[in-house]
Structure formats: C-alpha cells, structure tokens
Structure 1
Amino acid sequence: MSGIEVERVFIGAGCNRIVNNVSWGASNLVAFGCQNAIAVFCPNTAQILTTLPGHKSIVNCTHWLPTNKDAFKVQHKEEHFVLSGSADGVIMVWGISHKERKWRCVMQVPQPHKNGVTCITGIMVSQTVAMFASTSSDGTIFVWEMVFPSSTGGDCKLSCVDSLVVGSRPMVALSLAELPGNTGHIVLAMGGLDNKVHLYCGERTGKFIRACELKAHTDWIRSLDFSLPICTDGEKDSLLLVSSSQDRSIRIWKLALHVSQANSTVPYRKEGLGLTSYIEGPVLVAGSSSYQVSLESLLIGHEDWVYSVEWQPPLSTSGEGTDWYQPQSILSASMDKTMMIWRPERTTGIWVNAVTVGELSHCALGFYGGRWGPRGDSILAHGFGGSFHMWKNIGLNYENWQPQIVPSGHYAAVTDISWSKSGEYILSVSHDQTARIFSPWKYEERPGDGVSWHEIARPQVHGHDINCVTIIQGKGNQRFVSGADEKVSRVFESPISFLKTLNQAMLQKSSCLEDARDDVQILGANMSALGLSQKPIYVQTVNETVDRSGHDVSDSLETIPDAVPIVLTEPPIEEQLAWHTLWPESHKLYGHGNELFSLCCDHEGKLVASSCKAQSPTVAEIWLWEVGSWKAVARLQSHSLTVTQLEFSHDDAFLLAVSRDRQFSVFSIKKLEAGEVRYQLVARHEAHKRIIWACSWNPHRHEFATGSRDKTVKIWAVENGDSVRQLMVLPQFNCSITALSWAGCDRSGNDGLLAVGMDDGLIELWSLSRGAAAPSIRFDPFFCHVSTVHRLAWRRNAMESGDCRTLQLASCGADHSMRVFQVSIG
C-alpha cells in the first residue's frame, strides 16, 4: 500500500451570510469566509481552489492586498496577500505565490480585538508597503502599517500606527485613501451605528486625528469606498467618497483640495452665497493643506438596505498601462435582490442607474455585498442563501451583462452524503435545509480531461434542518430518502429533466437514464406555498395548454407551474438551482417519535433502515422500511440512546448499528418472499469508553470498524454468523473519531484502505492488511475540513473502468463544505 497520493478534486461550499465577507483581488481570485475557513475561488473556472485553516471562529471579513484599486501600482507582484478577520477578534494574514498557486499562513496580527472584527480595509502606499485598518464591535479601530517581504515566502513586518476608540456605537464600515496634492497624508473614513461618516487624517507613521463628520444619512452606514484621485484641469486635486446606508440611499462626497496654507490655520472660504454654498460641508485640514468637503450627489433607486458600494477599478488611458484613471462608475448591492451600476450622464452629469441585475428566485432576502472584477467587466454578488451571483459584460458596442457560472455549496453544516448507485454524482444534505447534487461535468472543447465539478441540481428545499440521507440502491429510477428535524422521512424520485441533464454532463448515455422506468412522466417539481412538500409536474400538463373547449389556457395560474424544469446544457446558475431543479416527493414515512438522525439502504435496494434521536430504549428502535410499498416491516430494539450510524454488510446479511450508549449491535437480516423480514440480534458489545460516532464494513468480508469519541478505532469480525470478535485496535488518535469509510482493494479482503475523519477536520488513511494496520497517509491540512468531519464515503472512480488503484473519497463536515479527493495507489 506504499506510494499513496491524494489529489483534491472538488470543494463545494457556500459563503458566510455576513456583510464584508467577500473580496475580489488584483490576483483575479475571490476570497470569502466559509465557517472558520477562508475559501478562495477562481472566477474563470468557477472552482474553489483551497480553504485556509487557522481561525477558531466564524470568518466575518476578508480583504486582498493589493486591491483591484491598487493593482496598477504593483503590476508584477509575485505574492498577493489576504487579510481575514473572525468573530473572536483575530486577524490573520495569508500569502499566495501567484505562479505556483501555493498558500501559506504569513502571520496572526499580534493585537486582537476583544470582539468580532466587522470590517478590514487597506491600500498600497508603495510597491512594498501597505496600510490597513480594522474595526470591531468592541468600539475600537486599529491602523497598521505592513511591509511586505522582498522575496516570495519571506516575513512581513507589521507595526501599529494608531488605535482609535469610538465609544458605544461601533463603526462597521471603513475606507482608506491617500489625499491628493502630495501631502503624504492618509484619510480614514468610518461609518456605523450613529448614522454619520467620520473622517480622520494622519501621516503614515503618525497619529490619526479626527478631522470632520458628515451628516446626511438617517440610518446605519453600511459601506464606504474612496475613489482614486480625480483630475481637474490636468491635476489630481480631489477625491470622491461613496457611502451607502440602511436608509436605502447612496451619497457621493467630494474632497477638493482648497488652498495651500503655509502659516494660516483659518480655512479659506468663498465669499458670497451661491448654490454650492448650501451643499458645501466642512473643511478637512491635513497638515498645510485643506480640503473642502461637499455632497456631490444623492443616488436613490434601491428599495431596501444598501449593503455595499464600490468604485470601479482604474482603467488604463493607453494600451501600455502606464497611466491610469478612475472611471466614474459605482457598483451597489442591496437587500432588494439587485445590484446597480451608477454613472453620470454624459450631457447633464447627473448620476443615474445605468445597469441593474438581480436575482429572480423565491428567496426572501437579497444581497449582502457586491464586488467588481479587476478589469471592470465582471461583477459578483453574494446572497442570503450563501450563494454567489456573477454577471459579465460580453457586449462589444453596447453593454450586455450575462449571468456566469460560479461555485456553490451549503451555507451550514453538511450532515450526510451518499454516492449514486453508479457513482455518477454525489448527494449531500445540510442544516441549511437543502439537498444538493454535485457531479463532474465534461466539456468536449476543453483541453486535458475537460472535467470540472459543479452543483447540477437541488432536489430538496425544505423547512427543517436535514440530518441524514441515503440513495436507494438496486434497479429502477433514481430515488433517495432524507430525514430531518421533523420525525418524518421523505422519499424523492428523480424527474426526467434531471436524468437528461445528467446525460449532458456525462456526454454519453447515463446509466441512470437506462435504469429508469420507461413510464417516468414527471418532468420536475413545484414547491408548495409553505415549503414543506414538493409536488410533481407531469409531462402531459406542460404540453397541454388548450382545454377541451378549445380555449387557450396558457394564461391560467392553475395550469402554469411556477418551476420550469428544463434539460440543462451547461452547469446551472443559482436562480435555476433554487427553483427549477426540484425532485417530486413520492412518500412520507411516519413512525419515529423524534428527529431523524441516521439512514441507510441495503445493496439490493429492498430495505431502508432509519433511527432517530433518543433517550430511551423504545425511542431508540431501528425501523426497517420496504422499498416500494414503504411499509414498516420491522422494529429492531437493542440500544438505549440515539443510534448514530447504520450500515448493511456487503451481502446484506447483517445490519450494523452504533450508538451514543457506547455499544454496537449486529443484526442478521433475512428477506422473505412476502415482503416480510426475519431478523435476529447476533451481538451487542460495549465497544468503547465514549460515544461511538462511526462505523464501516469491509466491502468484501464480514469485518467492520467502529470509531469513537474516545479517540480509538477498533476492527471487529463476525464469526460463524453468530458472534463478534475484536481483531485489533488502531493506535490512539489525537482527536475524537467522527467518520469512517472502508475501501476494499482486492476481493480476498486482505487489503483495504480505511479512511478516518476526526473532530478537528483532519482525515487519515490507514492500510489494513492481514490483521495488521499501518498509517498510509495524513491529508494536508489545506486539503481537509476545518471542523468536524461528519461523513466519509468511498467510490470507485467511475472515470477509470475497472482500475482499483484509483479511488475517489468524498467527505462532508461542519465547516459547510463537501469535498472529493482522488486517491492513487502506486
């Protein structure tokens, strides 16, 4: 078993639902908080590249250095940096080598905030020096100077320039800029719960002094952004600041260099009263220069809170990229589910809404923020459902903003996963109350293998947190059973639109479509008004738009379904996933007295076993359901507390159950012709000192593994069909064992790989051979989850016909992510 290599194939993850959480940098990579990790994705490939472990709490905000705004200052920088702030007040700095795409944790900022970091902003003041500021709900703001290393992989030098205390009303939005006029001064804008914009001035090495405050907004300030210096009469003598608020408005402020005063402290003011004198604000003094602040424009168009505003990144005045200017273009994102691009009209100069894009799904809440791409031709929003929405301007002579494919995933703990019968896709369920299907999508025109993974369907959108799932094995159409916090298991059956979409993804006749019955007449499903049941849409009802009297009834609400299921020819975007890829619900399984906790199906596809949360022997019963009739055919009693995992042996002769009561049970199962089941308790052992979280059978023999909170994994064998013997105990691990999955590498059962997932998110592979165990490989922490691994599941790589040396392992965890790894055995 030597020479094992692990390659990361796919990461599916959603975005933390927090303002300021997403940052798009000059590296053309997007960083976002995903539970306690920072995830990084490439917009060009719509793939998450990595997750960065290190934070111990929820990541609230990220910020790239250099930013899109500073890209022209450091065009050939080899290493880019990401700043991240978390809910426990910690700020970390990460570095990426641009050519090699290698990540490293550079440092943790030594002086943490006492409460959660809510916003980080920064600018490059030279090729190697940056300044950044952070604010927290503890009412403090820190300003730092950071000197980047001269060579890739070196250390950063960090010094605290100033710390500001703003009192009981914390600031939640920040922006930094260099003041025009070669004064060497930095201006810091901050806004928050007092509805005002506060401006502070300071030098790169000195204290920041309060300069003035801008009063106009009537609710919390949510976002601030300075432009680059603006030219007037050929000289860069003014700066624009845009602010957005929960009062649904956006304001543009102008800071104009007023006069240079060598010996005067009295700011210069215009004589006489004109229109401008009524909208002029205070004067900002920085050293020997002063700046007149005035309200340039008020933008009204959004119908809900405006959570973010951002100036378009600079553009080159020439193709050589030697001179850059600030485009007069602002992107705003709002909870009204729209993003808008604002520009001044050419003739009047009045700022107007030039472009509007948005989400047209049933989701009740909108966007938490919007970001420009580095070239200004792409815009990205992140929404309430942990989702991304990207549009790109593909027009030549006119603007034509079209939706683009983006990464997707769950935005809460992923609780269970299940491979399809033939391994063509994987189904995951989560506490975000959705079930999602991820699949490799083949592209004929792409070089290399031309395969990338995407979410291709969202078969269940539910009103309760989903805890467990199993795909029905055996012949027939694709079906799955899911269990949630509602005491009822639900059965779903794939519609014809999904099966044909899978064909498109595989570029061939999918075995799923071949196995489906000829009479699958369900095209898709509609969500009910309360979101608790998914009703089928039949093929006939979609085709029949004329009633018997000959009248066209296509405008009748009763005949037009809300969902429009179609066969997808490319990976779907969020709007399609959220509404048009549902599967119809065919049955509900009533019987359990508490929330469902575990489900499994036998390999023949004839029985489903289920368990629920329990604190007494009667509630801890394992129920067996007959597939098809969906009758409860047996109730197995053995445990006194929650059964945490269930699994049938490879030949379906035994059912293994492990429980919080520290015991495992093995039942012999025999299916009789009349649909009845005969069962017998073969063995019950108190196997561990703490809760047993996980179990897994050897795919070729009657051997199984159990893993526990006591940090041990034990291997057992069923002997003579009536007793269980312990074979070995693996050396103690550093953390609780929460997931196991056993892959058999030859049919004799002598060789196998046991995947072990732990409470800290790490994964290890152990080689099991002839009664001995040896550690094979420990996954790179950058590959792994950052919190509890909930489930592991092997699949023979469907792309490799019959090659047992190449396997795929899927995992899911509490860090909101689902991952697929390729394991190559040399």
Structure 2
Amino acid sequence: MSPTEAGELAGGSGAGGGVGVGVERVFVGAGCNRVVNNVSWGACGLVAFGAQNAVALFSPSRGEIVSTLPGHKATVNCTLWLPTKKDVHQVRCAERHYLLSGSADGIIMSWKIDSGKGEWTHALQLPVMHKKGVTCLAGRMVSDTVSIFASTSSDGTVVIWKMEDEPATVGSCKVSCLHSISIGPKPMVSLSLAVLPGQGGHLILAMGGLDHKVHIYCGDQSGKFTKACDLKGHSDWIRSLDFSLPVMTGSEEHSLFLVSSSQDRTIRIWKMNSDAVSSGHTTSRKEDIGIASYIEGPLFVSGNTHYQVSLESLLVGHEDWVYSVEWQPPTLTGDEAHQPMSILSASMDKMMMIWKPEKNTGLWINSVTVGELTHSALGFYGGHWEPDGKSILAHGYGGSFHMWRDVGLGSENWQPQIVPSGHFAPVSDLTWSRSGEYLLSVSHDQTTRIFAPWRSQVSPGDVACWREIARPQIHGHDINCVALIQGSGNHRFVSGADEKVSRVFEAPLSFLKTLQHATLLKSDKSEDFDDVQVLGANMSALGLSQKPIYTHGARETPNSISNDGPDSIETIPDAVPTVFTEPPVEDQLAWNTLWPETHKLYGHGNELFSICCDHGGKLIASSCKAQSAPVAEIWLWEVGTWKAVRRLQSHNLTVTQMEFSRDNAFLLSVSRDRHLSVFSIRKTDDGAEHHLIAKLEAHKRIIWACSWNPFSHEFATGSRDKTVKIWRVEDSSSVNLLTTLPQFHDSVTALAWTGRDRARNAGLLAVGMDNGMIELWNISGGRASTDNSGSGSSPLSFACMLRFDPMLCHVSTVHRLRWQKSDSSDEKSVLQLASCGADHCVRVFEVHDF
C-alpha cells in the first residue's frame, strides 16, 4: 500500500563509485490519537486512524501499519471511508476508495486509493468551511459515483458536502459544499447519514452533541436539509449515532433504526417507519412483546411520506460513558442487502459489548462482552466492526488498539488478535540493541518500548513482521532520553525523564527467553541464562520504581493472566513476568513485560535531557535542562559502581546531545548556547580523566544534533540555522572546520553517521529535519585513519544521495536517527536506519544499493 522506492538522486561522487542508494520502509510503530471518531474501518479492508498530524493506515490481516499520509498541519481528529461499509452495492463495483480526514485546524483532506494498483494519492484539500477543529465525519454513497457526506466542528456548524467520482479525469474526484447548517452555541459532536427507504434518494441526517438531544434533519441530494424533529431522552452529551440499513418488519414496509449512545451510560435504539403502517401494527406488537412495547415519539415528514419515531429499546449495561455505537455491517445476498440486528458498543469502562434482540421475546440483550485489564485507568474511545462482521476493533486511552476475532465454529468464541502498537505522544529518543536485534524507544507517553522483527516458527524463511515485544518501563514522568549500556553482559539501559534521576534497568529472564522466541535463536547459540536470577518486575500501585521478581520466588506464581473475568477488583492480576512464544497483545505488554530497576543515579538539578554511553560500556554521560553554567555540567558515571566520577564544565545552557567517538577517546557535546565542546576522556582505575580540547561557537542558532564518523575523528553538527557542518579533531589538541553542507530547507534536528568504506573513509550521513524530512549524504575523503600522522589524507567530498519521499517520512520534527551496527567496517549492501519523531512514530528503513 505504500511506495517502497523513493527519493530524488543527486549526482556526484556516490558511495561505491557513483552507485546510488534506495530506501524501503520496513516498519512504522505509532499510537492512535486519543479522540473519539478518530478510527474508521473501510470496506477496502484497511483501518485508518490519526497519529498526531498524519493519517495512518493499518492492515488488520497483517497486523502492521502499511502507510502514513502526510498533509495535515494539526492533529487528525476524524476519518471516514467512502464507500462506507453500508454501501454494499457500491463496494462491490468500486474501482477506487476515498478516505476523508479532518483535523484540529478545520481542514478536511481527501485521499484516493486505486483498488487495482494499491497506490495512494492525495486527491485534494476541501475548501475551508470550519473555523475550528473538525470533530466528526459521516456520509453515504447515493449512486455509484456520487456520495454525500457531512462534517461537524466545534465552531457550531454542520456542513453538507457532495463528492463526485470522475474516472475519466486526472483529478478523479470533485467536491462541492452544498449546505451549511448553523447549530448554535452548543456544537454537535456526532453525526450519522442514511438514505430513507422508498423515497427516491431522500436523505436523513442525525446529529447529537452537548444539548442532550438527537436532532433529525431531512433533505435530498441537492443538499438542502431542514429540521424535522428532536429526539429527547438522553441526560448527557450524545457521543455516537449510527443509522441501520432499512430493515423489513412484519409488514411489507421497511423501517429505519437509529442507535445513539451518551455519557449518561445508556444506549437508545430509535425506530422510524412510515406513518401509514405504524398505527396499524403498534397494537399487535404491544400484545406480542409486552414490556418491550414501543414508546411513540415525534412525527416528521420527508417528501410525501410521514414517519413515526418510536423508542425501540433502552440498553443499560455499561458502567461509564458510552463513546461509540455501530450497527453490524450489512451482508449482500444476491442483490439484496441484509442488515444484521446486532450493535457494537464501546465505553470508557474498558468494555466492548455486542447487543442482539432475543429470539423469543425481542428484548435486546448483551450477548458478548470483551475488554482489557490494562494499567490505564481509562477505557475505549471507539469500537468498530470488520466489514464481514467477524472481527471487532477498539482504540483506547493508551493510544492502543485491541482486536478480537470470532474463531468459533458452532458458537461464538472471541479471541484477541495481533494489532499494531506504538507511542501516543512524541517519541524523544531511541537506540538499537548491541547486536541490532531490537529497537528500544522512549517517549513523552511515559513508556519505554521494545520493537523487534518477530520470525514465524511455522515458516522461518518468510519476512519477519515487526512487533512490540516488551514495555520495560512504565513511568510517571515524560521520558526524554535513553542509552543502551554497551559491552558484554546482560542487556541494560539507562533512561532519563522529567525528574532529576537517571534510572538503570536490566533485562529479566522472561525477556531474554521471549527474545529467543522472536529471533528463533537456538538455545545453544543464545546467551547463558543460568546467571540471570531476575524473572521480571512488578510495579507498586503508587510507586515509580519497578521491583524485581526473582526466579526462586516465582515457582508458585501463575504464569498467565487469569481469565475468570474482569468484573471484580480481585481478578485484576499482578504484573506476572511471562515468556511469550507469540507476539504479546496490549494488556500483556502493560502487565507482563516490565524490567526491574537496578540503580538510580542522583545528582542533576533539573529534568534529564540527554544521555549517552561509551562504546566499551564503561562510562555514561548525562545532562539536564539548564539556564546557567553550574547546572549545565555534564556528569560522568562509572558503569558497575554507578558513582559519579567527573563533572565536565563547558556549556552555559542545556546540553542537547552528546556522543563518544568510536575509539572512546573523545566526548563531543553540543548545546543550546550554540557551542560545541570536545573533551578527551581516559578511563582510569579510580574513575576517569578528562580535558577540554576545544569549545567553539559553531552555529548561529541552537545546535540540536551531533554524530561522529565511525572511521576517524571527524564529526558533524546540525543546527536550527539549517546547516550541517563537518569538523575534525586535529592532533588531539584542536578542532577545525572542514566544510559546511549546502543549506537545508528546515532546521536540522537529528544526525547519524555510518561507515561504508574504511579505505576511502566513506560513509553515509543521515540528516533529519524539523519538517519531518530525511536526507542521506555521502561523505568521503579526509583523513582515513585515527592515527596522528597526516598520511591517508584526501580532500573531503560530499553529495546528497537520497531525499526520502514525504510518504515515507515523519510529518513533524525528527528527534533521533540511529544506524544499526554503524561501527561495522564491512561494506554492507543493506543498512537499517531507525528514526523517531514528534509525530508519535518510530520508523525503520532499509537503505540499499541499486
């Protein structure tokens, strides 16, 4: 679904003697924006959702995000597929599908996917009609090429639109505004649109919002809608509305059903049938059903027919706000569309329920309940049916998806399924593991997550699918930086957050064995687990520290989550460490994959901002937010004793990034004060010795990023002044500027340098920018060795090798770029580049020669 080859190639001295490079995106991890109406499951089989300013698409069958669509400048609030799941006749012959998305700045965009080619194009941006954020979209196809849809906004207006598909033209669709309805001071937050039965294209629009009423409007394809009636009954905000397809009742007439849900925790089903038949059949139904008798509501007129509204049922079962209700999608039998009488509801009580009328009495009852036991105190923002009705999907407060599929043969049996996952706030930092088998990221969503390619045991030859396999740290503060501790021994990392403490974590036995399953390593080739005494970690209800659970004390502990039901507080499980033989789902990640915290590093006076580890795993450097020289000190910590061994003074403001040279001889730091500093570092028995070699005002604006050449003592710095400069440490005593790359289009916020050819001192420099774009530059020449002699010097040359396609890139600031195993001197044909950004995304690219 996404382009794989991308980029504009610039000529010049490319890597490998003029050979170019190509890029392919292999993984995107992103959480869902925490707003109602954000998710839409299309008839094409893809799920669309907003991830910060991007529209992300994931394939439920693969459990992977397949593409992200850039364009919006503000948070995406709502999405809508056309044709919808209810347009079963149009879906069958649809050559292309359209996706509408609305954002917090009032902009609505249209995207097109060609069903045959699977290629995405940006169709158009609709005229700006809303002054504030778009909160809901609803629409229907009224013919094979024409659709009518409505948008509502917090500015108090509802706009009716018409979209015409024009296959003959290049633009392929035309959108016009038909009507704008002013609602008043209490805006509408939910919409549903349907075609009235037997009316020759007359439409009915239901809207609900802050005034506790359901407003019914009637209109036709010309777009002129008039108020028909109000439906009263709810006692709080109405959050979701959905019309069914016309349903055949006892007579030969069709009835239309509308379901509404509210923050008053109830769901109401309204029935609308033509007045001519309602009076004749109300009596008989009352006699048949008794307690479920109709409560007659208002009468309204559309065209030449009167419609009687009655309350079909009041559904009470949820214990918190019901954010979402949706009718099961219709099925097509021959040319006849059949509407199943089944409703899915999702609530903030962490439950989704399927409601169906009982066969004997006709009473609506709750037939299926599914839910989650996550650490989050809040529940689901929305629930959605798969087009065939076999799966249901919820999105929750933690930016997470939860999917269940009915795998039962004779009776219903709903089982959790694998879905994409990721951070739901800006991702501030990431790092590869020592041997590159997994990626660890930290975010302002206060979690640390591990992503890895999970290889199928059934068919090991297949391409591995990337999954989130662990959530080592769940914190109470935004996490700003992370460093993996290099060297031999167990997997360890240190993270810094919006507190004055760095925390050290060590991989437990449960994670090591899970990683073994993910990578399909045989036990004789894997690490020796005998020395690992810690099975996992547990988090106290009110604490920030994750306490270890030891292997000898875990014999009696159950190794799986109790399935007794989520009804009582007693059944909520402890955070039991678990070894996973298949990718874990959301509640397992939240409960069963914590790492124990082994040390805290006290000393900084403000929030931690940057952290790094030397390549031998002996020293850690950390910095914090600072506005004065004493606070801007860089602290050096000794791995093992975890003592502060040195405090390096040079900068006056926050040190934004630090990195050790590949031979650990130098520590480079860059700062908000526009200076760079290079320290010589030597590890000693009693700690470390350091010496400030150079402090230079390197740029005209904040310096955000720096990176060393893996083969020599050259390094790059990137700044808000839109420049990247290449420097060299001369004779371990001074720093000289070698060159400045041509000015970039935006602020440079991330850099990563990897080696490609040691003999020519050639490598690739990845440059990430404030607008989300990524470029690859070939840097070669200069000094080809790390000795102090002048031998091997050659002029430094550079060329832009690749500009990533915007469809592959982030949609806002790139925070960090990391090459996998960038210290390798072998000229590999395929490299992996990881990136993270303010758009909540973690991305992995494969860069290869072509």
Q: TM-score category by the smaller chain?
A: over 0.9
**3-state SS in 2 of match to 1:529:** coil
Taking the TM superposition and a 5 Å limit, the aligned residue runs for 1:410-421 are 410-421=423-434
Establish whether residue 723 from structure 1 lines up as the match of residue 747 from structure 2: no
Q: Give 1:281 shift.
A: 0.5
CA 496–512 in structure 1, closer or farther in 2 if over 3 Å, else same: farther
Q: Does 1:127 align with 2:144?
A: yes
Structure 1 partner of 2:788: none
| Per-residue deviation, 1:161 | 1.7
Structure-1 separation of matches of 2:459 and 2:343 = 35
Q: Deviations over 1:178-217 (max 9, x none)?
A: 0011342100000000000000000100410100000000
Instruction: Single out whichever of 620-629 and 224-233 deviates more from structure 2.
Output: 224-233
CA offsets 1:630-685 (integer angstroms, 9 cap, x no match): 0001000000000000000000000000000000000000111x232111001111
2:358 matches 1:345? yes
Residue of structure 2 equivalent to 1:47: 64
Alignment of 1:85 with 2:102, yes or no, is yes
Indicate which of 154, 174, 179 corresponds to 1:137. 154
Partner of 2:704: 693
Q: Which residue of 2 aligns with 1:264?
A: none
Distance 2:525 2:498 in 1: 30
Q: Is 1:472 the equivalent of 2:485?
A: yes
Q: Which amino acid aligns with 1:792?
A: L
Q: Name the residue aligned to 2:314.
A: 298
Q: How far off its partner does 1:801 sit?
A: 12
8 Å contact kept, 1:502–1:510: no
Q: What residue in structure 2 maps to residue 741 of structure 1?
A: 752
Matched positions, count = 803
Partner of 2:836: 812
Q: Does 1:191 align with 2:208?
A: yes
Q: 2:718 aligns with which of 701, 707, 713?
A: 707
SS at match of 1:259: helix
The one-character-per-residue Cα deviations of 1:54-104 (angstroms, maximum 9, x if unpaired) are 011011101111111113333131211111000011100011122322111
Q: Select 2:421's aligned residue among 388, 391, 408.
A: 408
Cα pair distance change 1:271/1:454, threshold 3 Å = closer
Aligned pairs for 1:17-28 within 5 A: 17-28=34-45
Give runs of ≥4 in structure 1 deviating > 6 Å: 267-274
The CA deviation at 1:14 is 0.1
Q: Which residue of 1 aligns with 2:789?
A: none
Give the corresponding residue for 1:567.
579
Is this contact kept in 2: 1:478–1:512, CA < 8 A? Answer: no
AA matched with 1:140: T
Specify the code of the residue in structure 2 equivalent to 1:682: I
CA gap 1:278/1:679 in 2 versus in 1, 3 angstroms: closer
Deviation at 1:148, TM superposition (A): 1.2
Change (3 A) 1:304 1:272: closer
Matched, 1:334 2:347: yes
Whether contact under 8 Å (1:439, 1:454) holds in the other structure is: yes
> Which stretch has the larger CA shift, 145-154 or 627-636?
145-154
Shift of 1:112: 2.9
Q: Is the 8 A contact 1:63 1:83 kept in 2?
A: yes
Matches within 5 A, 1:102-121: 102-121=119-138
Letter paired with 2:579? V
Query: Partners in 2 of 1:458 and 1:757 — Cα distance?
Result: 26
Equivalent in the alignment of 2:445: 432
Residue 58 of structure 2 aligns to which amino acid in structure 1?
A: F
CA shift for structure 1 position 323? 2.2
The partner residue of 1:309 within 296, 314, 325 is 325
Aligned with residue 503 of structure 2, among 490, 494, 497: 490
What is the distance in 1 between the residues matched to 2:143 and 2:137? 19
More contact order relative to length (CA 8 Å, sep ≥ 6): 2
- Mapped pair 1:383 → 2:400: no
CA distance in 2: counterparts of 1:740 and 1:271, whole angstroms: 72
Structure-2 separation of matches of 1:106 and 1:531: 50
How far residue 236 of structure 1 moved from its aligned partner, in angstroms, is 5.0
Q: Choose 107-116 or 42-51, whichever is displaced more.
A: 107-116
Following superposition, the deviation at residue 443 of structure 1 comes to 1.2
- The code of the aligned residue for 2:830 comes to T
Mapped partners of 2:530, 2:661: distance in 1: 31
Q: Distance in 1 between matches of 2:244 and 2:294?
A: 24
Q: For residues 454-493 of structure 1, what are the alpha-carbon distances to aligned partners after superposition, in whole Å with 9 as ceiling and x for unaligned?
A: 0000000000000000000000100000000001000000
> Cα 1:474–1:150, aligned 2, differ >3 Å: closer, same or farther?
same
Alignment-derived partner of residue 5 in structure 1: 22
SS at match of 2:275: strand
**Structure 1 position 432, deviation (Å):** 0.2
Whole-Å separation in 2 of the counterparts to 1:446 and 1:48? 22
Q: Residues 673-727 of structure 1: CA distance to partner in whole angstroms, max 9, x if unpaired?
A: x232111001111000000000000011100000000000000011111111111
Q: Write the mapping of 1:232-311 to structure 2, written as runs, cut at 5 A.
A: 232-233=249-250, 235-259=252-276, 279-311=295-327
Distance 1:167-1:502 versus aligned 2 partners, 3 A rule: same
2:375 aligned residue: 362
Name the CA distance, whole Å, in 2 between partners of 1:604 and 1:731. 35
Contact 2:129 2:159 in 1 (8 A): no
Residues 243-252 or 356-365, more deviating: 356-365
Q: CA separation in 1, counterparts of 2:305 and 2:201? A: 11
CA distance in 2, matches of 1:536, 1:24: 41
Q: Which residue of 1 aligns with 2:776?
A: 765
The corresponding residue for 1:550 is: none
Post-superposition CA distance 1:235-259 (Å, at most 9, x none): 4521000000000000000010223
Identical columns (%)? 67
Secondary structure (helix, strand or coil) at the match of 2:408 reads: coil
Task: State the Cα distance separating 1:233 from its structure 2 match.
Answer: 4.8
Residues 711 and 545 from structure 1, CA distance in 2 versus in 1: closer, same or farther, beyond 3 angstroms?
closer
State whether structure 2 residue 812 is matched by structure 1 residue 787.
Answer: yes
Is the 1:442–1:450 contact (alpha carbons within 8 Å) kept by the matching residues of 2? Answer: yes
Q: CA–CA distance in 1 between the matches of 2:486 and 2:760? A: 23
Kept in 2, the 8 Å contact 1:147–1:156? The answer is yes
Cα 1:682–1:545, aligned 2, differ >3 Å: closer, same or farther?
A: closer
Aligned match of 1:584: 596
Q: What displacement does 1:825 show? A: 2.0
Task: State the partner residue of 1:218.
Answer: 235
Q: CA deviation at 1:149?
A: 2.4
Go from structure 1 to structure 2 and tell me whether the alpha carbon gap of 1:620 and 1:38 turns closer, same or farther (over 3 Å shift).
same
Summarize deviations over 1:216-242 as a string: whole Å, max 9, x none: 001000000000011135745210000
Indicate if the aligned counterparts of 1:97 and 1:152 stay in contact, CA closer than 8 A. Answer: no
Equivalent residue number for residue 553 of structure 1? none
| Aligned CA distance change for structure 1 residues 274 and 772 (closer, same or farther; 3 Å) | closer
How far apart, CA to CA, are the structure 2 residues paired with 1:634 and 1:81?
59
Matched residue type, 1:502:
L
Question: Per the alignment, do residues 179 and 447 of structure 1 end up closer, same or farther by CA in structure 2, a change over 3 Å counting?
Answer: farther
> Quick one: distance in 1 between partners of 2:238 and 2:438?
44
d(CA) in 1 for partners of 2:131, 2:587: 39
- Change in Cα spacing, 1:277 to 1:578, as seen in structure 2 (3 Å) is closer
Gaps in structure 1 of 5+ consecutive residues? 261-266, 547-556
Mapped contact 2:403–2:417 kept (Cα < 8 A): yes
Deviations 1:411-448 (A, max 9, x none): 00000001000000010000000000000011143486
Q: Is the 8 A contact 1:181 1:257 kept in 2?
A: no
In structure 1, what is the Cα distance between the partners aligned to 2:477 and 2:186? 36
Could you tell me which residue of structure 1 aligns to residue 790 of structure 2? none
CA contact (8 A) 1:796 1:806 kept: no
Tell me, yes or no, if structure 1 residue 775 matches structure 2 residue 787: no
* TM score, norm. by length of structure 2: 0.92
The 1:431–1:132 alpha-carbon spacing in structure 2 relative to 1, beyond 3 Å, is same
Query: Quick check: 1:220–1:246 contact (8 Å CA) kept in 2?
Result: yes
Identify if the C-alpha distance between structure 1 residues 153 and 625 changes in structure 2 by more than 3 Å, giving closer, same or farther. Answer: farther
Match among 29, 52, 56 for residue 46 of structure 2: 29
In the TM superposition, 1:443-482 aligns within 5 A as: 443-446=456-459, 449-482=462-495
